[in-house]
Structure 1
């Protein structure tokens, strides 16, 4: 499994894979705490309409996740890896909205 991740992420050793996994874990936990605090601040509860909670998640929490991922990546010395990771991810997302055959 580690070898597959090394190849997929184009990293040199197992320690790099471990650090990357730690960064993802730290980001996930951080976002949970920030989300909870933000929902409390704006008054969203489990009883709030689900469409509203989903809207806040997509419009605020998702971009915040990306920023926190870069911060943790910087703290752990992997900012460049995560910056490239973000660019690839947004490129894929942007590709979903391009018209097929456009520019041909």
Structure 2
């Protein structure tokens, strides 16, 4: 399994793989933790509509996650990997929106 990841991500060392996996883990946890104070600030609590909470969670967590990936990746010496990872991810969103726009015309 790790060999496949290393090949897919074009990395060579096991240490680099471990660092990348740690960055993904920390980033996921931090982005969810950051959501809570933002919800408190805007008085979003248990009485708030569940669909609104889900939408706001997506809108808060997604960009937070992207920024944290770059920051933590840079701090741990993996900026190039995470920069390329971000570019791939953003290009996937762009392709889907372009396909949708073409279909609706």
- CA deviations on 1:25-58 (whole Å, 9 max, x unpaired) are 1101111210111111111123311221122123
Find the counterpart in structure 2 of residue 34 from structure 1. 34
TM-score computed with the length of structure 1 as normaliser = 0.88
**CA RMSD for the aligned pairs?**
1.5
TM-score computed with the length of structure 2 as normaliser = 0.87
Runs of 5+ unmatched residues, structure 2: none
Find the counterpart in structure 2 of residue 16 from structure 1. 16
Separation (CA, whole Å) in 2 of partners of 1:27 and 1:77: 15
Runs of 5+ unmatched residues, structure 1: none
Find the counterpart in structure 2 of residue 80 from structure 1. 80
Preserved contact between residue 31 and residue 68 of structure 2 (Cα < 8 Å): yes
Separation (CA, whole Å) in 2 of partners of 1:82 and 1:43: 34
Moved over 3 A (4+): none
